[in-house]
Chains A and B, each alone.
Chain A
């Protein structure tokens, strides 16, 4: 990295400073910076999943059929009683086992299948996953967990839309379908936005769990790079710098929160323009 930087730039730094630049731009560090993508992808993708599951959950919750209603209520209330980390770890493992179970049924012998204490029952049934697969599963499980929170928010927002507006819409001659999609759903987002923004804040904080799900994300690399190094051949010799590395992550997440807050304030202002009911 040092050789591609211009001479005048490097002349600002002392010998130690140049060494530090070289250290902070070595291959491992560049990989660390690049691994931010996993965090951001996970945040956005799980948010989309969460909205999807949230809409399904809200629809189930207000369904006329008792079984659907019961499922919806169960889905939205279970996450209040059980920690998110349990579900976040559970879903990928359960999905993996489920897939391997089906592979095993066709590929393993009956003897192997009946053995207890090993998984998968035989080598052929092993389902190999890449980092991207793990990332996808992590997003799915984050989406399932925070979708339950989103379902509550969306359900509440659907009921917050003033009845008078819907009645006015049908009085103007809009069909039931139009009233639902163009007025109820359209207005619902405005009421749901503050709640959804809270869920987004929870979600970006939950992306720090990616390292527990086999994704080599920023937390994983910070732990690796911060560990003490006593071998000059492995790069700069330094004592345990974990604190510094985790502090960088601490600040990173605070900045991410700050940016999200600004974004949602902007969105809220935009969505509620012309509405006097919604507090700004």
Chain B
């Protein structure tokens, strides 16, 4: 019984693509925890009245939202490569700084930072003014207002959109190995599916199972994020 299940071509395929799926998961999990605070800082920068903070943040967000991630990967890899001789090699860090497992998350952080920052910025602009004024009237300091009013409101208002952004980030991880060099067996879902396709030309099986992995990962992100969303809105119920 178990043997027949294990020998099923679909099960075989799912097992075959399990390891590549871990690479996608790695890229997403390495980018989200750093991308989130980075995005919050960018959003606060763009929202700031100080133009020395707001202009660079605005420019960064515009540039990274206005250009394809595909090009950003190519560009950053080429940049890192051209800095190899003057910086990385003398410092002795070229081994890992040029590694896709490092550059991949780096570019993803910059990209998701820009997209998420725009979401957080939108939320910052729609925070109810009355709440901020009330907090000020209570005699709270700026730091206290941020902690008790701005931050929770921003998170609550932007969370549904940020969930979508996290899902899109997970989808974007499939671009890493289209642009960066593939080292040995370090392959992600799309890469492995493409390789398997070239062997037997069965596009429905390979791309289907790869799509299934993405679908499940997306559903997991939506589910976990939904739980957090409920927690954020628990005072409204």
Contacts and interface: CB of A to CB of B under 8 A. Distances in A.
B134 interface: no
B90 interface: no
Secondary structure type dominating chain B contacts = helix
Interface in B25-80: 62-63, 65-72, 74-75, 78-79
Given A119-B201, A219-B70, A253-B71, A226 B210 contact: no
Contact of B68 (A78, A223, A247, A253): A253
A83 B177 CA distance: 14
B74 A246 contact: yes
Interface stretch (B142-150, B166-174, B229-237): B166-174
Which one of B72, B78, B171, B175 has the highest number of Cβ atoms from chain A below 10 Å of its Cβ? Answer: B78
B186 to A, nearest CB: 19
Contacts of A258: 66
B214 A83 contact: yes
Contacts of B62: 254
Contacts of A106: none
B81 interface: yes
Given A82-B211, A243-B75, A118 B66 contact: no
A118 B202 CA distance: 10
Contact of A240 (B75, B78, B197, B203): B78
List the 10 closest A-B pairs by CB distance, nearest first. Answer: A83-B171, A242-B78, A119-B201, A257-B66, A243-B78, A246-B75, A208-B68, A205-B68, A253-B67, A81-B218
B207 A86 contact: yes
B200 interface: yes
A57 to B, nearest CB: 19
B178 interface: yes
A157 B82 CA distance: 48
B74 A118 contact: no
Q: What size tier do the contact residues of chain B reach? A: 35 or more
Contacts of A254: 62-63, 66-67
B91 interface: no
Given A86-B190, A94-B204, A208-B68, A81 B74 contact: no
B75 A83 contact: no
A97 B203 CA distance: 9
Given A81-B214, A90-B203, A209 B70 contact: yes
A128 interface: no
B151 to A, nearest CB: 27
Given A82-B171, A86-B210, A257-B65, 12 more contacts: A80-B167, A82-B211, A82-B215, A85-B175, A86-B207, A89-B194, A90-B207, A205-B68, A245-B78, A253-B66, A254-B66, A257-B66
B18 interface: no
Nearest to A205: B68
A206 interface: yes
Contacts of A223: 74
A246 B201 contact: no
B219 interface: yes
Interface of A: 78, 80-86, 89-90, 93-94, 97, 116-119, 201, 205-209, 212, 219, 222-223, 226, 240, 242-243, 245-247, 249-250, 253-254, 257-258
Contacts of A81: 167, 214-215, 218-219
Contacts of A212: 178
B82 A243 contact: yes
A80 B74 contact: no
A39 B65 CA distance: 18
A206 B70 CA distance: 9
B199 interface: yes
Nearest to A245: B78
Which one of A83, A97, A254 has the highest number of Cβ atoms from chain B below 10 Å of its Cβ? Answer: A83
A206 B62 CA distance: 17
Contacts of A86: 174, 190, 207, 210-211, 214
Nearest to B211: A82
A208 B211 contact: no
A245 B77 CA distance: 12
7 contacts: A81-B167, A81-B219, A86-B214, A90-B203, A240-B78, A243-B79, A243-B82
A205 B168 CA distance: 14
Contact of B67 (A82, A90, A116, A250): A250
A84 B211 CA distance: 10
B67 A257 contact: yes
Interface string B78-114: 1101100000000000000000000000000000000
A93 B67 contact: no
Nearest to A94: B203
A219 B72 CA distance: 12
